[in-house]
Amino acid sequence: MKEAGTSFQQMVWKALEKIPSGKVTTYKAIAEHIGSKAMRAVGSAVGKNPYAPDVPCHRVIPSSGKIGNYSAPGGVDKKIELLAKEGVEVRDGWIVKFKEKLYLF
DNA sequence: AGCGTGACGAACT
DNA sequence: TAGTTCGCCACGC
């Protein structure tokens, strides 16, 4: 994988790789981890992630516990499927036992 | 060089 | 209780 985009995005993508399988994290957690409070910027960065799905961007969800969105091929449906395979159950767009699956840096 | 937009969040009405 | 509005930072046009 090569350096793409800005250093900001690279930080975000790097953080994504830190997320262990079967766990999920929130945009807010990432934002704080990289020293920014703009979870929007993080969302944009992840959405523009050229490495998807090489990077586990599907393990990132809004702090609401919702599934959020997914730009990679397959869309949200694919995202749910991937998570399900990793042991993260999703019911009607909601993460089951969200707090238990949540991974903080 | 400036404005609008976006895989969000929290507060307010 | 639900829906709406404003704010956050970075990036594209």
As a whole number, the mean pLDDT across chain A is 93
Q: What is the pLDDT of residue A5?
A: 86
DSSP string, A8-42: HHHHHHHHHHHSPTT-BEEHHHHHHHTT---HHHH
Q: Which two tokens stand for residue A84?
A: 């399900």
Question: What is the crossing angle of helices A39-47 and A7-18, to 10°?
Answer: 80
The model's confidence at residue A2, banded by pLDDT at 50, 70 and 90, is low
Which residues in window 8-27 of A are less than 7 A from strand B by Cβ?
A: 26-27
The Å distance, CA of A53 to C1' of C7, is 30
Q: Which two tokens stand for residue A35?
A: 């020293």
The model's confidence at residue A52, banded by pLDDT at 50, 70 and 90, is confident
Closest CA relative to residue A42, chosen from A73, A13, A3: A13
Among this protein's residues, is A5 annotated catalytic? no
Q: Compute the average pLDDT of residues A67-88.
A: 94
Q: Compute the average pLDDT of residues A52-62.
A: 92
> What's the half-sphere exposure (Cβ side, CA atoms, 13 Å) at A31?
15
Q: What is the pLDDT of residue A42?
A: 96
Nearest nucleotide to A72 (CA to C1') is B7
A60 Cβ nearer than 7 Å to chain B strand: yes
- Residue A62 pLDDT greater than 80, yes or no: yes
